[in-house]
Amino acid sequence: MKRVTKPRHGQRGLSSVGWILVFGIFALLLVTFFKVFPWYYDNFKVQAALEALQADTSIDPKSKREIWDSLQKRLYVDSVKSITRENVKMQRKDGKTTVTVSYEVRDSYIANLFIGARFEESAVIDR
């Protein structure tokens, strides 16, 4: 019967190049998370502001100025600075006012690379 012998110097884990590669990928994912998370957090705040606008009965849904002022106050309280008047569209049809917030966010990523996202949220005021 033959004896099977183990090699003396078998690989026991990652080499230093492997560890550098793992840490590099982890760092890239971490940088991406810290760049993108605030955008989605702000978008969550925009959604909450639109829902509050939709539930607020003191606002006249026919007055674009009143809707914008109310939305702007809510966004100011939540520190959302990326939304301007040009990003907000209001349309009145069949007794319903649709408020749509559409905006794009961009930021530098690494060196001369950019990363961005486009968001569009809307709420219907039915009064």
User: Percentage of the chain with pLDDT > 70?
Assistant: 94
Q: How confident is the model at residue 3 (pLDDT cuts 50, 70, 90)?
A: confident
Tokens in use for 22?
């793992």
Residue 103 belongs to what H/E stretch? strand 96-108
Amino acid at 33: F
Q: How confident is the model at residue 110 (pLDDT cuts 50, 70, 90)?
A: confident
What is the C-alpha to C-alpha distance for residues 70 and 64, in angstroms, rounded to an integer?
Answer: 10
Tens of pLDDT, residues 7-40: 667 667 778 999 999 999 999 999 999 999 999 9
Q: How confident is the model at residue 1 (pLDDT cuts 50, 70, 90)?
A: low
**pTM listed for this prediction:** 0.80
Tens of pLDDT, residues 45-84: 999 999 999 999 999 989 999 999 999 999 999 999 989 9
